[in-house]
Each structure stands twice: as structure tokens, then as C-alpha cells.
Amino acid sequence: MKILAVGGGSGGHVTPVAAVVEQLAELEGDKSIDVLFVCDRGFAPQARGIMSNVSVPVAVRTVTSGKLRRYPHLSFWQHFAHISIVGSNLVDMFKVAIGFFQSLVLIAQFRPDVVLAKGGFVCLPVGFAAWCLRRPLVIHDSDARPGLTARLLVRFATTIATGFPLKNYTYPSAKSHYVGVPIDQAYSPVSAEEQAAYKQALGYDPTKPMLMAFGGGLGSVNINDAAADLARALGDGVTVYNGTGTAHVERAEQRGAGLMNYHPEGFVYGLHDIMAAADLVITRASATALQELAGMSKPTIAVPGRQLADQHYNAKIFGAADAVVVLQDDELATGDRLTTTVRELLDSPDRRDALAQSFHTFAKPDAALQLAKLVIAAAKS
């Protein structure tokens, strides 16, 4: 079976594909599947790193892609008052067209039995090309608020899989399936002894609480700055690990210079081990990151990106269930609210346990398996 999977822009659109490929290999046999992963050029190095850890060979190719810039704080007409936004959107329309023709060539050459579109703007040209060449198309929408790419592709899809219950979507019920967000099965709760061992393996003192601050695969300057400031405010009694994103690691190192308890790292390939070691996590509210943390029952502070409406919607759902503490980007800049919140949580094991238990009820450990079964069914339809 030949599978062409596409996703990109962040690790949250790539790591789920890796989890699904592992399940496909188990269901169909290692030697029975041939997988090609397509992403945008900007995320290709990280995608190759992630796919290199999959148990079966996964070739990685790139196509040109573009995105439509839309900002929640601007009305539809206000966007036209910003020349930079209009110009960038026009340029990216041509990029999507180029990506479409590149995708036609890729699909014609590879001849996949099925195309899996995981998410990100790169899915649009590939998904449309798959439909034009009459290849079964399975799309997966991780976020509770359907993204633009998914909404555009839904009419061409053979099967639609969702990360949240179907009541959050307006997709056709006949071809929609709630599977959850695919994550590696390793993202499960660890014991106190195992957590201490993970801390030791990372070179950290297992007797000290550890805070993980993570802005996603591309990183977040606001979260990075807040993490360095937290390390300074909390002192040597707390270890602060900061997944900065490759582009921001130098800035983080400069801001945290001289802090022995602050540990910035560019791109995090051993994400599971860092999460397993952490006592408390600060993260963006991407669906994949939240699902991984829910699987591990980790007390979490979710900070949705200011201009990312999907993350605000995700955070709203988890926050309403008292599964995570939700803070806004603006509250990171002042520092006081974040520092107070972190101190309160670190000083209250009972509160952390309550958050973790509520969070874990959102876990869907079989999501990758269920999506793999849908991919196989579409390929054989």
C-alpha cells in the first residue's frame, strides 16, 4: 500500500503522521507500506528529523505553499488597509498555484493508494491535486475550530477525521469520524519513580521541581522570555527547561545568561522525555501538544497564540473543564500573573493532581490506530 501524507508548518502537523505510520506498519506489515511525506520547505529539516525515528522508511519531499493571513483583531475590510497583508496574500496565492502543479507531478509519479492530509496550509495544494487525480483523500482536523484549509478540502475528502467530538464541527456526518488527535502511545502517565529517572537522565536534580516551557515546533518569543524571567524569579530551587524553537535559541540564551537553573534548547526531538520529567508545563494551545500532555496527565498552563483563533477555541474547551489553567499572551509580558500562577501550582500538589486528572479524561490513546484504520479503508474503497 502506498500512502502519501502531507502536513507542515509545525511539529503538531508532523508528529501525528509519524504515530499513524507506526500503526499502519503494525496493521499492514512493515514491508507492505510505502510512505511519502510532503511538507513545506521551511519545516522540512524538522520533519526529516521526526520521520527518521519512525520504524519504517519515510521519504520526505517538499512543495511550495502559501497561507492566507487573517488576524482576529482585524475586521474583513480592515485587512485591506494593510498593504503588507494584501501583498503577502497575493504572493502566497501564486505560491499555492505553484504548489498545486508540483503536487500533481508528485502524486502522478508516486501513485499513492490514499492521501492523508494532516493539517497546515501545505495540505491545500496537495489535497486538491489528490482530488483532481482521483486519489482517495482522508483529512484530519485536530482543532476544535475547523481551520480554513480543512473547510476548503472537506468537499473533496473521502473521509474526515476530527480531533474533538463531532458536535464541534459542521462537517457532513456521513463521512466524519471522531478519532481524537494521533499521538505516540508512549505519551502515557509515568510514576514518581519514573519521573525522577527522566530528570536524572536529563542531568537535572530529581529532588527539584521541573518546569517545562514550550512554544511549539517553531517556538514562541513571548513564552521564551517568560521562561527565562521565571527561572530568575523562582531561583535555583526550580529547574526550568525551555524549548525555544531553532530561530529563537540565541535570544533565549542571552536573556537567561548566568542562570544555572535555566536550560534553553532549539528544536526538541526528545519531547516525550522532557514532558515525562516535568512537574508543570507551559505551552501553546495547539491540539497536538494538549493531547500529548493530556495523555501524560501533566498539569498544564495553556497560553494560546494571540493571533491563533483555533488555539483560543481549544484553550476555551479545556479551560472550561478545569483541565488546564489558561493565560493570555499579554499576561506573560507583565510576568506577575504567570509567576504567581506557577508558584501557586508548584506549592499545591493537590491542585496539580486535580488538573492532571481532569486533563487525562480528554486523552484518546487509540487515536492513531483509529485514523490508520480509516486510511486503510479509504485506500481499499
User: Binding site: which residues?
Assistant: 10-12, 311
With a CB cutoff of 8 Å and minimum separation 6, the contacts of 93 are 66
End-to-end CA distance of the chain: 13
Residues in the chain: 381
Residue 99 CB: number of other CB atoms within 10 A?
26
- Rounded Cα distance between 49 and 151, Å, is 30
- Rounded Cα distance between 342 and 14, Å, is 30
Paired residues of 119 in beta bridges: 7
Category of 25 on φ-ψ map: left (φ > 0), alpha (ψ -120 to 50) or beta: alpha
Q: At what angle do helices 367-379 and 15-28 cross, to 10 degrees?
A: 60
Q: Which three cell numbers stand for residue 264?
A: 534553553
As annotated, the binding site for UDP-N-acetyl-alpha-D-glucosamine includes 10-12, 311
Backbone angles phi, psi at 228, to 5 degrees: -65, -40
Backbone angles phi, psi at 134, to 5 degrees: 60, 40
- Rounded Cα distance between 39 and 18, Å, is 13
Residue 29 CB: number of other CB atoms within 10 A?
11
Residue 30 CB: number of other CB atoms within 10 A?
11
